[in-house]
Amino acid sequence: MRRRDFIVFLSGAAAPWPLIAHAQQAAIPVIGFLNSGSPEGFEERIAAVLKGMNETGYIEGRNIEIDYQWARAKYDRLPILAAHLLDRHVALIVTTGFPAALAAKSATSVIPIVFLTGGDPVELGLVASLSRPGGNITGVTEILGMLGPKRLELLRELVPTATTIAILINPNSPITNTHLALEQAAARSLGQQVIVASAGTKNDLDAAFATFVQQAANALIVNDDPFFISSREQLVALATRHALPTIYFQRSFAAFGGLISYGPNLVESSGQAGIYVGRILK
């Protein structure tokens, strides 16, 4: 199946930013990297952000310092981590995932923020519009969540005999219900029975798959979430052990042995975010 790339860039990133007054007085500015998940699973994306920054003349350890802050799927820690970055007087904050972007936006209306998110930033209230984000925030939307109904269609084509399709969600994410509602609406229109199981920790994953077996699920959709990215090896192993055909939201799951994935090119979008960072710093 041909991989398709879906990325939306916010044009406001190219506009002048009169907001660098909060940059450190030191020779080497510090930027904050605020992530909802864990370092595991984000290596490629971090490298892509750094590559984008390099293209604009900023190299970590040479003329830029990065303070990495990871919530490790404990979303209630994000405001604390954002406050830490403000205490360091960072010149800019890069965020991945909607919860991290929301925490950064709530923490400051002055320091520039570049986000990477899988949801609609307008619908989520991050920006005023795609063409004119407004305020101190801009970034890239990868429309991960909006592709949920398409993943359902693809899984039905792949497993046409599936009477029950399971959906795995992280209940701790504030964007979960929005994305789940899209899939449930699509399932109703197709007459497809679905069941939903939650997992917010690695121990929860075993319990979720036990639920799938108990309720005789024939296939599985793993919804987009930073925690699932960090747990991709465990997820792929569980799906294989239970012989459960599964579709994922990111290519790296398939690289680890997962059956199929459908989603945007997250490396490309991360590189674009890195370019935005360099433009804003200049």
- The enclosing domain of 93 has a CATH number of 3.40.50.2300
Range of the domain at 65: 8-143+265-281
Verify that 194 and 219 share a domain, yes or no.
yes
Tell me the two tokens of residue 117: 């998110």
Verify that 92 and 226 share a domain, yes or no.
no
Task: Note whether residue 2 is domain-resident.
Answer: no
Task: Note whether residue 1 is domain-resident.
Answer: no
Verify that 253 and 157 share a domain, yes or no.
yes
Strands of the sheet containing 260-261, edge to edge, are 193-198, 164-169, 219-222, 246-248, 260-261
Verify that 63 and 24 share a domain, yes or no.
yes
pTM for this model (two decimals): 0.82
Verify that 86 and 24 share a domain, yes or no.
yes
CB-CB contact of 85 with 93 (8 Å):
yes
Task: Note whether residue 80 is domain-resident.
Answer: yes
Verify that 54 and 191 share a domain, yes or no.
no
Verify that 13 and 80 share a domain, yes or no.
yes
Task: Note whether residue 255 is domain-resident.
Answer: yes
Verify that 155 and 129 share a domain, yes or no.
no
In whole numbers, what is the pLDDT of the chain averaged over residues?
89
Closest by CA position to 245, among listed 264, 220, 267: 220
For the four alpha carbons of 33, 251, 3 and 195, in that order, the dihedral sign comes to negative
Percent of the chain with pLDDT over 90: 68
Verify that 14 and 119 share a domain, yes or no.
yes
Using alpha carbons only, what angle is made at residue 122 by residues 119 and 127, rounded to the nearest 5 degrees? 110
* pLDDT class of 41 with cuts at 50, 70, 90: confident
Tell me the two tokens of residue 212: 């799938």
Q: Please tell me whether residue 115 adopts helix, strand or coil conformation.
A: strand
* pLDDT class of 20 with cuts at 50, 70, 90: very low
Task: Note whether residue 209 is domain-resident.
Answer: yes
pLDDT for 13 equals: 44
Task: Note whether residue 3 is domain-resident.
Answer: no
CA distance 248 to 251: 8
Amino acid identity for residue 39 in this structure: P
- The 10s digit of each residue's pLDDT in 116-159 is 988 888 888 899 888 888 899 999 988 887 899 999 999 999 99
CA distance 116 to 219: 29
If one counts the domains in the chain, the total is: 2
Q: Please tell me whether residue 178 adopts helix, strand or coil conformation.
A: helix
* pLDDT class of 46 with cuts at 50, 70, 90: very high
